[in-house]
Amino acid sequence: VQNCAPRERSYVNCSAVTNDALSLWCGESDGSLSIWDVEDRYCQEKLLPLGYHPITNILPTSQGTVWTSMSHTPHISIWHPLTCRLLRKVPCPCQVSCICEQEHNICAGAAGGLLLLWNKQGNPSKYENICPPFTPHGLSATLMKIHQQLNDPTIGIGLHNEHWISSSVVLYQYFNRSQLRTWLSSHSTGNNDLNNMIQHLVDVGIIRSLFRDNAKEAKDTDVFVLPDKLFNGMELMEANDKISGVVIKKGLVGDIRCMYYDHKESILWVGGTEGVVLIESKSFCVIAHIKVGGPVNQLLRVRNTIWILAERIYVYDKFSLTHQVLEAHEGEVLHGVVLGDFVWSAGVDQQVIVWTYDCKFVRDITHYK
């Protein structure tokens, strides 16, 4: 085993535990990687720097690989988690600021609102466009007719282009349950139980249900989108034959700084220098835009809420998008972590503040030099 003592003036910049919970990967400021045995608490490998810049992201994937990126470096490195061998480098058109994993793809965020998309089932040496036109399979003639009529520009259901929920939250391209029920009743569906029909449309993927806890009863205000509406509020960008991606509409998110993927709801939360956007992962349409004060530093899932760490802490209910603001920090909030029923947050004020999961203040811990 190599000596894993940090180099002079080197510090741990990021870390992640592998999916088997056996190893802790630490990226250091000098570009090196330290791999620690979690159970025995010793450093089992020290990987020499691939460059002169800090490691900024480490992502263990369900495919049995570990992805890392460095600042000021236009590529992603893919490693074997057991042998710690470099498998390949994935070229990028620019520096990657954050990486997250979805069901079928890896998503990397960059400057200018650029999302880089890589299909996990494809060739790992290049990115693929993972957003083909939506084509439902195995539908009855009735359902296929409804699918075609819903998307018809003349007789299809009307979509709301923009709706402000509050002064900081706006929804895009949606319709609600009441409007869908009215539309279905004006078309011959052969089904008198419209709520049951709506649920069936959700189950087969013709429409997508958003922001509703499945444990609750159906409401007229439940929000839906059409998966066919690809790249709404976004532009398809193809840099070259090795990379493709999408650019979030200018003015919504700015430079991407962090992401959180909600596996249960299949919604990607993207935080940047100009706010937060919610993206439906199948169609990649922008669902909602949230304005917050200052750049977003982290998106943190706490039960059924998303904590947005920026100039203050904004806590959003992930179903209704109602929110509250926590203001105990004096200045920008940089990082947070969930420990059981508590959330610990740290800011530029050099304080660590402890909260309950339901946003009650517990205590602050002053960090003395």
Cβ pair 259, 207 in contact under 8 A: no
Residue 8 and residue 85 share a domain: yes
For residue 150, the surrounding DSSP H or E stretch is: helix 141-150
**Domain boundary residue, one of 202, 225, 248:** 225
For residues 44 and 210, which has the higher predicted lDDT (pLDDT)? 44
Mean pLDDT of the chain: 79
Give a yes or no: residue 288 inside a domain: no
Residue 69 and residue 1 share a domain: yes
Average pLDDT over residues 110-118: 80
Residue 150 and residue 87 share a domain: no
Q: Does residue 6 have a pLDDT over 60?
A: no
Give a yes or no: residue 4 inside a domain: yes
Residue 82 and residue 13 share a domain: yes
For residues 247 and 287, which has the higher predicted lDDT (pLDDT)? 287
Side-chain half-sphere CA neighbours of 333 within 13 A = 29
- pLDDT the model gives residue 369: 45
- pLDDT the model gives residue 9: 67
Q: Does residue 71 have a pLDDT over 70?
A: yes
Give a yes or no: residue 128 inside a domain: no
pLDDT class of 168 with cuts at 50, 70, 90 = low
- pLDDT the model gives residue 248: 75
Average pLDDT over residues 178-182: 90
Cβ pair 67, 36 in contact under 8 A: no
- pLDDT the model gives residue 87: 85
Q: Is the pTM of this model over 0.75?
A: no
Tell me how far apart the alpha carbons of residues 159 and 77 are, in angstroms, rounded to a whole number.
42
Give a yes or no: residue 117 inside a domain: no
- pLDDT the model gives residue 165: 64
Residue among 87, 340, 288 at smallest CA distance from 271: 288
The one-letter code for the residue type at 170 is V
Cβ pair 279, 266 in contact under 8 A: no
Give a yes or no: residue 27 inside a domain: yes
Q: How far is residue 119 from each of residues 111, 145, 243, 274, measured CA to CA in Å?
A: 21, 31, 11, 28
Give a yes or no: residue 263 inside a domain: no
For residues 123 and 232, which has the higher predicted lDDT (pLDDT)? 123
Question: DSSP letters along 157-215, please?
Answer: PP-BS-EESSSSEEE-SBEEHHHHHHHHHTS--S-S-HHHHHHHHHHTTSSEEES--TT
- pLDDT the model gives residue 235: 36
How many structural domains compose the chain? 3
Q: Is 356 helix (H, G, I), strand (E, B) or coil?
A: strand
CATH number, position 215? 1.10.10.10
**Domain boundary residue, one of 199, 225, 251:** 225
pLDDT class of 171 with cuts at 50, 70, 90 = low
Give a yes or no: residue 364 inside a domain: yes
Q: Does residue 309 have a pLDDT over 90?
A: yes
- pLDDT the model gives residue 116: 80
- pLDDT the model gives residue 326: 95
Cβ pair 341, 334 in contact under 8 A: no
Q: Does residue 306 have a pLDDT over 70?
A: yes
Least confident range of 59-68, 94-103, 232-241, 356-365: 232-241
Phi, psi torsion values for 198, nearest 5 degrees: -60, -45
Average pLDDT over residues 192-206: 81
Tell me how far apart the alpha carbons of residues 165 and 320 are, in angstroms, rounded to a whole number.
9
Average pLDDT over residues 131-160: 70
**Domain boundary residue, one of 53, 72, 91:** 91
For residues 285 and 347, which has the higher predicted lDDT (pLDDT)? 347
Beta carbons within 8 Å of 140's beta carbon, 6+ residues apart: none
CATH number, position 19? 2.40.10.480
Domain containing 341: what range? 297-369
pLDDT tens-digit series, residues 23-53 = 999 999 888 999 999 888 888 888 887 777 8
Residue 76 and residue 153 share a domain: no
Residue among 219, 145, 158, 159 at smallest CA distance from 187: 145
* 115, burial (CB in 10 Å: exposed 0-12, middle 13-18, buried 19+): buried
What would the two tokens of residue 194 be? 């419209």
Give a yes or no: residue 120 inside a domain: no
Tell me how far apart the alpha carbons of residues 76 and 68 are, in angstroms, rounded to a whole number.
6
Q: Does residue 117 have a pLDDT over 90?
A: no
Q: Does residue 271 have a pLDDT over 90?
A: yes
Tell me how far apart the alpha carbons of residues 303 and 277 are, in angstroms, rounded to a whole number.
20
Share of the chain above pLDDT 70, in %: 78
Average pLDDT over residues 189-198: 75
Number of neighbours of residue 83 by Cβ within 10 angstroms: 9
Choose the most confident range, by mean pLDDT, from 89-93, 121-125, 304-308. Answer: 304-308
